[in-house]
Structure 1
Amino acid sequence: MNLNWRYVYSLLGVLWLLQLLVGAAFIILTAKSGFYGPVYFALFMSAFFCLTTLTLSFITLLDTYRVEVNVIHVIHDLLAALLYIALMGIMIDQTLRQSYCNFEGYPLPCAYNVFLGAAVCGGFCLGLYFFSACYLCWALDQ
């Protein structure tokens, strides 16, 4: 099996690695916050897009169907960017719902900081997936 390692050291490889790392941070923060309501959806979608990013990146390394995989990767990244807008909205809503416990001396456990961190990670994921889609569109045009 001949792997095309130039993708690993390119801008796309760095973007894919950052998508995986920030997506994993989003998954960890979402899982740490407790499972209730729309947080299930956020956890499922972030895990789904991390796994599909990993799969598409590995298939791109194989260099067999590069153009077809890049087109699929553009669609995947645009869809991920759109859904991370929703996931970020869910985390912002959950952060606002937990804002009552964000003061000194609150005796009960509070998930405010966890939801805030997940919202920030969601924003980073949104930016990374959108930038990756734009870069892949530009690269396919060349």
Structure 2
Amino acid sequence: MPPQPPPQPQVKQNILRFLRSFLGITRILQLVFGTGLWVTIAANKYEGSIHFVLFVAVLFWLLTLALFFLTLLNKQDLVPLLGGEHWLCANLTHDVAAAALYLAAIGVMIDKTKSNSYCIVHHYKHFCLYKVYLTASVFACLCCLTYLLAVVYGARRRHRGEKSVF
């Protein structure tokens, strides 16, 4: 039996195809905006309901990272119960849950931003978290938007009867 050529060209083509796909770009944006959100919060003093926002940001950043690499390396068949033909549905469920929890996180961030709006006056001299919360609110909105885009994309593919995520 003659030796078979290594599968590198096919793997490289799959990786490039995924990175250029709508879902690949969306996943990268989700990771970038999620990183921005949790780094913004974690780098500053936070308390109370901001813990929920940080939980949502880190949880979905880790889950999205896992989905990204499993899809990038075409290893979704290794995931029990959720892989293979269920991968599109698993991704869609993840995106719906992320969008819903990010909507709640946006509400928390907007409330915290409003509650700290007293310190935006020009002569206020004390430490104020208003700009931090405002920045985190923007990142939370961007995260939610990218997850909503992924929901629409996944739902459209599912409605067409397609089985793959890209």
1:67–1:7 CA distance, 2 compared to 1 (3 A): farther
Where does the alignment leave 5 or more consecutive residues of structure 2 unmatched? 1-6, 78-83
Partner AA of 1:96 in structure 2: K
TM alignment of 1:87-106, pairs within 5 A: 87-106=105-124
Aligned residues: 142
Partner AA of 1:92 in structure 2: I
Where does the alignment leave 5 or more consecutive residues of structure 1 unmatched? none
Contact 1:30 1:114 in 2 (8 A): yes
**2:86 pairs with 60, 64, 68, which one?**
68
**1:27 pairs with 29, 38, 62, which one?**
38
State the partner residue of 2:21. Answer: 10
Partner AA of 2:141 in structure 1: G
- The range that moved more, 132-141 or 111-120, is 132-141
Contact 1:56 1:69 in 2 (8 A): no
SS at match of 1:8: helix
Give the alignment's Cα RMSD to 1 decimal.
1.6
Contact 1:88 1:123 in 2 (8 A): yes
**2:64 pairs with 50, 53, 59, which one?**
53
Contact 1:19 1:125 in 2 (8 A): yes
State the partner residue of 1:128. Answer: 146
Contact 1:74 1:137 in 2 (8 A): yes
Give the TM-score taking structure 2 as reference length: 0.80
Contact 1:23 1:121 in 2 (8 A): yes
Say whether 1:113 aligns with 2:131: yes
Partner AA of 2:24 in structure 1: G
Shift of 1:121: 1.1
Shift of 1:134: 1.0
Shift of 1:61: 2.1
Aligned counterparts of 1:109 and 1:118: Cα–Cα separation in 2: 17
State the partner residue of 1:42. Answer: 53
Aligned counterparts of 1:58 and 1:31: Cα–Cα separation in 2: 25
Q: Deviations over 1:8-57 (max 9, x none)?
A: 12111110000000011111112134121011111011000011001011
State the partner residue of 1:86. Answer: 104
